[in-house]
Structure 1
Amino acid sequence: MMQTNRGLASAVILLLVVALGYGLWLSFQPKPVIMQGQIEAREYNISSKVPGRVDKVLVRKGDAVDAQDLLFAIDSPELAAKLQQAQGGQAAAQAMLDQADKGARVQEIAAQKDQWLKAKAAAELAEVTYQRVQNLFDEGVVARQKRDEAYTQWQAAKYTEQAALAMYELAEEGAREEDKAAAAGNVLRAEGALREVSSVLEDSQMRAPVAGEVTEVLLQPGELVPQGFPVVSLVDMSDAWAVFQVREDLLKHLSQGEVVELYLPALEQSVEFEVSYISVMGDFATWRATESGNDFDMRTFEVELRPKQAIEGLRVGMSAIYTPTDS
């Protein structure tokens, strides 16, 4: 009986020694390297160049939207008035150009021609009258004063005819090339002002730049929105990546373009990611004690990895675990 008890005690002591030895062996083994990062995705803050009052918001948090879907609209009476002014200016400039291209109307040309014919007839009558007075003056019937008055009236009628003819020809010819060019320039300027106002007005109807999911709606209908203030935020999960803050002594486990396997605890699956970016500048420092007892700071570098294929159920903020196989 005593020998049995001694055997059991020896066995227990042996087991304790083995367990203690194994524990000491494990304590001196290098610990596996485990890096933890998180999932990020491209985020868009949708704002408008137009200040005003929110007219309507067509989305809510969590809504999935397609590219060019209308998200919200802003009401700006001041902008509507500017658009009306720009439209009026463009219409007036175009009318001036049309008038310059077409020249005078048919009725105006006919009126100028009638004025010329009238002046021509008066000039011819004045010339005939002068000739008669000249003949009488030659015969000594009338005084020189009468002859001079008739001559002056004839010359005045002739100049009036020439002026009427010039006005008639000007009406037929239309506007000068310089006037047409100036009118065309005014049209271009007015069209540019109209396009500018129209472009800003279109920016009051904000649409989704890409397909994604709405994460925030910051303003509601009726609220005032300043220029450039985001009203809706959305995230594009098709443009997602994993971000790791890697201590410099662990950078050897990751290299540009390398394909590694990350474990996503939330999805309980491992997925292949490719290293797409390694920061060229170290960020914050982590204190670490060396084996010799000297202390120094280990810099941290940002590393981004992109999935090789779409991941169902992936969300921003999910943890990503990387355990290097060469650790």
Structure 2
Amino acid sequence: MKRIIILLAITSLLISCEKNINKGQIQGKIENEQIAVVSKIPGKILKIFVKEGDLVKKGDTLAILDIPEVNAKINQAEGAVVSAKAQYNMAVKGATDNQIKQLESKKQGLKEQYQFAKKSINRLSNMLKDSLVSQQTYDEAYAKYEGAQAQYNAVLAELDDAKKGGRIEQQTMALGQQDRAYGALQEVETADKERYVIAPQDMSIETITLNIGELALPGYTLFNGYISNSTYFRFTIPESHLDKLKKGQEIIIHIPYNKKEIKGTVSTIKQLGAYGNIATAYPDFEMQESLFEIKITPSNSEEAKDLITKATVTLKL
């Protein structure tokens, strides 16, 4: 009994194939370009704003991830930026206003001492020539003069450094620390933005792979769908039929489920590497023949935008 049923099924299939062959008609499928939206950083699904079947626009928020450690890292990075900025400002600016005032006062006092010592040594120099003072007295006064001059020059240099800021090496080091802190802040701010799962293109949501509370890992597909206005028709033909089609050829596609016809243009002809990719329901080919996929793009995308993906279509060769 089973053999009879199998023989009847095979006979029915052969008859269907024969009818299609005689009519020169092949079947194909309505297709849309697929798109997958993945997570870039790990986190739990906090909210999902869409449902399967929804049409979304580019830039729409599809979901939000909960990433608690990002908030802590942002606070750390902001603190590091404040500290590094203060270090750089201190290196560039140098001393505070009060420190500058103290050095100015110190300079003025040492300047008066230096000028007094200079006047004294000039007087003693003349008196030494007239033998009015001893050489010892002159030498002692000269030593005080040189000491006052050294102290005055030292405070001038100290004041100059205070006004100019730290050494160029210190400023460069502080600037590098500041840039590094800003970079760390930008990194965590970028990670914070990635908590929002955004639609990369206008698309339809076909499947949602995770539920609220589940963990999304980096690179894991959260949403699958089809790109809007990307409808095309896919057929499989054997190499013996290639002479009936050529790239750029205009063809009429028949859509059985709504009894409509759509004009299309052959956009791609490529060899199939696997039988699993066959689009034709009853392919008319010998097993040793190479198979080719024919992609036909609708001439008017508006006519094809509402067609149901994976529905059967036909064309005549």
| TM-score, length-scaled by structure 2 | 0.77
Aligned to 2:34: 43
1:229 shift after superposition: 0.7
Tell me the distance in 1 between the aligned counterparts of 2:284 and 2:248.
32
Aligned to 2:249: 258
Q: Is the 8 A contact 2:228 2:305 kept in 1?
A: no
Aligned to 1:163: 154
Tell me the distance in 2 between the aligned counterparts of 1:31 and 1:172.
98
**Pick aligned residue for 1:318 from 311, 314, 317:** 311
Aligned Cα RMSD in Å? 3.4
Tell me the distance in 2 between the aligned counterparts of 1:308 and 1:296.
33
Q: Is the 8 A contact 1:50 1:201 kept in 2?
A: no
| TM-score, length-scaled by structure 1 | 0.75
Secondary structure of the equivalent of 1:49? coil
Tell me the distance in 2 between the aligned counterparts of 1:289 and 1:81.
64
Secondary structure of the equivalent of 1:210? coil
Aligned to 2:3: none
Q: Is the 8 A contact 2:26 2:314 kept in 1?
A: yes
Q: Does 1:244 align with 2:235?
A: yes
Aligned to 1:58: 49
For residues 1-327 of structure 1, the aligned pairs below 5 Å read 31-124=22-115, 144=136, 151-175=142-166, 180=171, 183-279=174-270, 281-284=271-274, 297-309=288-300, 310=302, 311=304, 313-324=306-317
Deviations 1:2-46 (A, max 9, x none): xxxxxxxxxxxxxxxxxxxxxxxxx9xx82222111111122211
Deviations 1:242-261 (A, max 9, x none): 11121111122221011111
Deviations 1:87-138 (A, max 9, x none): 33333343344445545443222111112122223444556777899979x6
1:151 shift after superposition: 4.3
Tell me the distance in 1 between the aligned counterparts of 2:243 and 2:273.
17
Deviations 1:207-259 (A, max 9, x none): 11122221111112211111111112222241111111211111222210111
Secondary structure of the equivalent of 2:307? coil
Q: Is the 8 A contact 2:30 2:234 kept in 1?
A: yes
Deviations 1:182-216 (A, max 9, x none): 55454444433333332232122111112222111
Secondary structure of the equivalent of 1:239? coil
Alignment size in residue pairs: 288
Change (3 A) 1:56 1:143: same
Tell me the distance in 2 between the aligned counterparts of 1:65 and 1:289.
40
Which region of structure 1 is more displaced relative to structure 2, 315-324 or 125-134? 125-134
Secondary structure of the equivalent of 1:164? helix
1:283 shift after superposition: 2.7
Tell me the distance in 2 between the aligned counterparts of 1:101 and 1:156.
32
Change (3 A) 1:100 1:44: same
Tell me the distance in 2 between the aligned counterparts of 1:168 and 1:244.
85
Bigger radius of gyration among the two: 1
1:319 shift after superposition: 0.8
Tell me the distance in 2 between the aligned counterparts of 1:98 and 1:259.
71
Which ranges in structure 1 are unaligned for 5 or more consecutive residues?
1-26
Identity %: 26
Tell me the distance in 1 between the aligned counterparts of 2:308 and 2:178.
53
Aligned to 1:10: none
Q: Is the 8 A contact 2:47 2:64 kept in 1?
A: yes
Secondary structure of the equivalent of 1:315? coil
1:275 shift after superposition: 0.8
